[in-house]
Structure 1
């Protein structure tokens, strides 16, 4: 692990770099639940936390201490991001499709956890796209998913159109820019990555980044500025978006997500938590889109206020409150220890 990525000094977490069958090496932190004294604990799903663009596992650094302490946690860097390693294939962006990345992460989790366990895929941004794709690709493994500040990939592209005067295209300009033919965006970003990522951030946070940046912004920017590993991380991000413009759209449609259908059928029959910023809700019918895809009794959706797109970092306590309530509702063996977890989190933070 290079010096550009800080170490998470969490008690009881182990650090791992796990080779998987695709050739990638997945960096992760793993923590076994602190209490394993009931039969229910053995059946409790593993929570997999998956970050988005252009972050790393460090986005969860504060949030992770707000989760119930009895849950097993696996916190991964996406393939090619942070300390994970995955080579770019000049012939295809498929290795960075959400199906491929979901497989990489689930394989790594199984090796680190030393068991093929039921999982809850919990993701933000690109990580949320990996999470819902993991649920669709591995329905025998994923028993719940939490999707933070997204609509499905095919829906996002569908809303970039002349009928909306391309307002969505301009707001999400980086989707088009990063998907441009290699090495156009890679070359341009690597010329001054610090400027690029700081500028990108300014459009998606409630309080615009300035000279006194909080640590989570520094954690986001600096890995891309590392002379040795930075260019590979920039390239991985571009491949992620190229896959998003091609394979991920195709895979969404194959799974039954159809923005043009007036009679969308539910395709998720597991508990789905959707958390969205006011900004996303102002541009998309978040509840209508996800609500049509999830069985009604399994769907929960809330708005996170006073924050931008990176609300896990801007409002971690509110995100944790909604998450804890969701876990308690659909995985009720956690009920008895939620109050203890909240008290413990307040002490740690």
Structure 2
């Protein structure tokens, strides 16, 4: 089913590249048109999906906007990482792949737009970049804003585990972190079947929006990737890092007051994330951002679940464009 993803992005006018750096499969356009008033948007998908997640939103964005849409390391058609699988490692690998195909070596303004796992990567990259992470500094990439789609902070999610309802809803966090056990069970059950089951478990209740989520053979595309043993393992290693090294890193951030210090958009399904364990999304993020004035919060209603970029592509695109306009006015 990879050919369906490739054909869709070709139809949307994006070129495909598999980078020599990290083996990242990505789709991109207008990389020669990046400027302070036309920053690059890096669209980073979540679990259990691929870059195909953005197929409905891209046609709603102005044609001149530069885009870079990768499959996460080990997901989709991207090569898996051999050692560390932290959000910082994932993020650096993605940005190294991006840098390798950018013309010249000038400083490039970019906005990270992440959903689910991708949003956690965006969070990690912004904080690490602001803290002067050497590997990021060398790339000459200026992260001017991050959009976090339908997540709460990783460390906070683990602390919410004392709530029974959250443990049930997020059972996969601990399960997948037990890599070898999870691998045996998922292969026996069927990786593709597992991915499709979770997507429907987390999707919303609006049938018309569910049809959008499923459009373009999306369930078959996502399922076919997760039928691959390598994708199952990479995704489990991702969650293992999320239960250990990522949590430690976020704890150190909080202890040392290394916070998000760029404009951040919190966009989520009000009846999904907004109802999780009675936690207000804005309140959950305030302690993770340097100044509350940097936060823009948008909750999408009408039975929208976890997959806002597909279930609510129009609202998501409109919110992003309005928010990006405010960022451009600050950095131009």
| TM-score where L is the length of structure 2 | 0.85
Q: Which whole-Å CA distance do the structure 1 matches of 2:4 and 2:233 have between them?
A: 17
Per the alignment, residue 158 of structure 1 pairs with 159
Per the alignment, residue 14 of structure 1 pairs with 15
| Greater per-residue helix proportion | 2
Per the alignment, residue 342 of structure 1 pairs with none
Per the alignment, residue 292 of structure 2 pairs with 296
1:216 to 214, 218, 226: 218
| TM-score where L is the length of structure 1 | 0.81
Shift of the 257–327 alpha-carbon distance from structure 1 to 2, 3 Å rule, reads farther
Q: How many angstroms does 1:14 deviate by?
A: 1.5
Query: Structure 1 stretch 200-209 or stretch 286-295: which is displaced more?
Result: 200-209
Q: Secondary structure at the match of 2:192?
A: helix
Note the alpha carbon deviations across 1:115-157, whole angstroms, 9 max, x for none. Answer: 4512211100000000010101112621100000001100100
Q: How many angstroms does 1:217 deviate by?
A: 2.4
Larger radius of gyration: 1
Which runs of no fewer than 5 residues in structure 2 stay unpaired? 131-136
2:25 to 24, 27, 31: 27
CA contact (8 A) 2:36 2:109 kept: no
1:310 to 285, 307, 310: 307
Note the alpha carbon deviations across 1:268-324, whole angstroms, 9 max, x for none. Answer: 221100001121111222101213322122110110112110121111000011101
Q: Which whole-Å CA distance do the structure 2 matches of 1:4 and 1:71 have between them?
A: 23
Q: How many angstroms does 1:248 deviate by?
A: 0.5
Per the alignment, residue 134 of structure 2 pairs with none
Q: Which whole-Å CA distance do the structure 2 matches of 1:143 and 1:120 have between them?
A: 6
Shift of the 317–189 alpha-carbon distance from structure 1 to 2, 3 Å rule, reads same
Which runs of no fewer than 5 residues in structure 1 stay unpaired? 90-94, 259-264, 336-349
CA contact (8 A) 2:192 2:222 kept: no
Q: Which whole-Å CA distance do the structure 2 matches of 1:15 and 1:72 have between them?
A: 14
Q: Secondary structure at the match of 2:108?
A: coil
Q: Which whole-Å CA distance do the structure 2 matches of 1:301 and 1:108 have between them?
A: 31
Q: How many angstroms does 1:186 deviate by?
A: 1.2
Note the alpha carbon deviations across 1:77-119, whole angstroms, 9 max, x for none. Answer: 1000001002444xxxxx2110101100111111122345122
> How big is the alpha-carbon RMSD for the aligned residues of Structure 1 and Structure 2?
2.6
Shift of the 155–146 alpha-carbon distance from structure 1 to 2, 3 Å rule, reads same
Q: Which whole-Å CA distance do the structure 2 matches of 1:152 and 1:96 have between them?
A: 18
Q: How many angstroms does 1:216 deviate by?
A: 2.5
1:111 to 85, 97, 100: 100
Q: How many angstroms does 1:70 deviate by?
A: 2.6
Query: Structure 1 stretch 63-72 or stretch 168-177: which is displaced more?
Result: 63-72
